[in-house]
Amino acid sequence: MFSSSSIQACRLALLGSLTFAVPSLAQTWTEARVLELFARQSPQAEAARARIAVTRADASGRGLYGNPSFSYSREGAGSTEFFQAEMTLPLTGRIGILRQAVAPSVGAAEAEAEALIWELRTEVRLAFYRLLALQDRQEVLNATIRDLQEVIRVLAAREKEGEGSRFDRLRWEREIVEIRVEQALVQAQSSQARSRMLEFLPDTEIAKVEGAIDPVGELPGLAELLTQALASRSEIRADNQLAVRLRLEQLAAGRLRYPEPVLAGGLKRAGVIDFSQGRAPVERTESGVSFGITIPIPSFNRGQGEVARLGAEQTRLEAHRRALEHQVRAQVAGAFRTLHLRRQAIDSYRRELGERNEELMRIARTAYEEGETGILELLDVFRLRRQSEQRLIELGSGTREAWIELERAMGREVTK
């Protein structure tokens, strides 16, 4: 039989201090670094910005003057030749109005590109913090496995010496099997989160990310957040710019009721017969200037269809802007309440569970050392500690995602 002192030593060995994982030598990525790379290299962001140049070229093309034309004709009878140039005179000011519409057209395209890039940036951030939370969960599982393996080593030694129970060792080994399955699921989820983030970061390898999951910044009041959101949302700015563009285009379409004359001028060369000398007629060539003007008569198409279409488009755009403002208010209010509730949940969990968790561990350690409880009770305490650590990670991740969703709804970063 073993002495009580040897049994006490074995029990204390089971409760040795926890070991920690050796930090990975792989390069780590912070949120700021990932977002910097996204802004510089993301093909989605580049495609969004390229739309601005397309819009600028299209709008500028509609504000160009019409090209002049040149014609040449020849008549066999009398050997007559015509050299003529024609040009439409833009006297109605329609071209000038279309040129004014270039700036709001480009402004709307820039706002739409900003909105799309902000949406993509939000997806990158969500994937980043999901990966960070999964990394933390992986570290908790790794530490738990190391603790259980140390316990199993001690139990195996006790079993070999005839002091321990085979059941105790098998029960702890069974616990490791469950944790390894959970570990595999976490690894698969980490791969998905990493792949999602790399969709926006070409030619990039990210082994590990680092940062703080739980946001610590202070929030302004809801009224201030709503004011900031309505002023900063790119979609609202895009609608405002589009409204200016449509009003200018409608004004330009109204000028179609006024005709723009077509001015023509050139040179005419013709062969003539000269009888002025009283002798036999003499054929010679004479040249002269030709001039003409053509005035269209807008009797059927006076631009009324285009004016009506642009007016209806303005009505639709105004309704869309009001709906968008209502949607922004609802999104910001909902995200604000969600973030507030999640912050309350994690603060309450830390406050109520933190001390009790440590007290429970101390009680279990003391009871096991004194032989008042068995190995299963101690295993339950280890399991509860692992679950509480993972729950804290889950609550912190949910709080961070709620913060990001609030910034998505606002169209800007949250500032006090």
Summarize pLDDT for 227-272 with one digit per residue, the tens: 999 999 999 999 999 999 999 999 999 999 999 999 999 998 877 6
- Rounded Cα gap, residues 203 and 199, in angstroms: 10
DSSP per-residue codes, 339-367: HHHHHHHHHHHHHHHHHHHHHHHHHHHHH
pTM for the full model? 0.81
- Please report which residue ranges of 370-410 form alpha helices under DSSP H: 375-410
Is 60 exceeded by the pLDDT of residue 177?
Answer: yes
Instruction: Give the pLDDT of residue 164.
Output: 67
Residue 21 lies in a domain: no
Residue 23 lies in a domain: no
DSSP state of 256: G
Instruction: Give the pLDDT of residue 167.
Output: 80
Which of 359-370 are b and which e, b meaning 16 or more Cβ less than 10 Å from the residue's Cβ? ebbeebbeebbe
Question: Could you tell me the pLDDT band of residue 172, with boundaries at 50, 70 and 90?
Answer: confident
| CATH number of the domain bearing residue 145 | 1.20.1600.10
Q: Output the six-digit token pair for 119.
A: 């949406």
- Rounded Cα gap, residues 167 and 158, in angstroms: 12
Kind plus residue range of the DSSP H or E element containing 72: strand 69-75
Question: 80 pairs with which residues across the strands?
Answer: 75
Residue 285 lies in a domain: yes
Overall number of domains in the chain: 1
Residue 416 lies in a domain: no
Is the CB of residue 407 less than 8 Å from the CB of residue 200?
A: no
Who wins on pLDDT, 209 or 368?
209
Q: Output the six-digit token pair for 390.
A: 């993972």
Q: Output the six-digit token pair for 416.
A: 């006090």
Question: Could you tell me the pLDDT band of residue 4, with boundaries at 50, 70 and 90?
Answer: very low
Q: Output the six-digit token pair for 100.
A: 């004014």
- Rounded Cα gap, residues 264 and 291, in angstroms: 6
Question: 3-class SS at 285?
Answer: strand
Residue 224 lies in a domain: yes
Residue 109's contacts (CB-CB under 8 Å, 6 or more residues apart) are: 51, 52, 54, 55, 56
Question: Could you tell me the pLDDT band of residue 23, with boundaries at 50, 70 and 90?
Answer: very low
User: What are the distances in angstroms from CA 110 to CA 122, 246, 320?
Assistant: 18, 17, 19
Boundaries of domain holding 205: 4-16+28-410
Residue 415 lies in a domain: no
User: What are the distances in angstroms from CA 211 to CA 328, 358, 390?
Assistant: 29, 26, 17
Is the CB of residue 267 less than 8 Å from the CB of residue 85?
A: no
Within 188-279, strands assigned E span: 208-209, 262-274
Centre a 10 Å sphere on the Cβ of residue 303 and count the other Cβ atoms it contains.
18
Within 156-235, strands assigned E span: 208-209
What are 180-236's pLDDT values in tens digits? 999 999 999 999 999 999 999 988 889 899 999 888 778 899 999 999 999 999 999
